[in-house]
Amino acid sequence: MIYHSQDSREFNLQDFSHLESRDLALVVAALAYNQYFLRLQAANLKLGSEVTEQILHCVGRSQHLEELILEDCGLRA
């Protein structure tokens, strides 16, 4: 696992930008149950509604996620 070998506990969605929105949403959904990653980052990546919904689910469900970084993701306030 790349993240473990680099001792990184930040899951960066940019690393999976090649996936279709539906597949990326499934990856994010799995993060809600992980115990390894402490941060979720998405920068310079347009997030679809499926991915956004799963990020919200992940934030609400995860007991280990400490930080969420969303920059220039096409989200509206």
Give which of 76, 77, 59 is closest to 68, Cα–Cα: 59
Write out the E strands in 19-71: 39-43, 67-71
**Mean pLDDT computed over 51-72:** 94
pTM of the model as a whole: 0.84
How high is the pLDDT of residue 76? 78
Residue 1 scores a pLDDT above 60: no
Angle between helices 49-61 and 21-31 (to 10 degrees): 0
**pLDDT tens for each residue of 35-59:** 999 999 999 999 999 999 999 999 9
- Identify which has the larger pLDDT, 1 or 19: 19
pLDDT above 90 as % of the chain: 82
Q: What residue spans define the domains of the chain?
A: 2-71
Residue 7 scores a pLDDT above 90: no
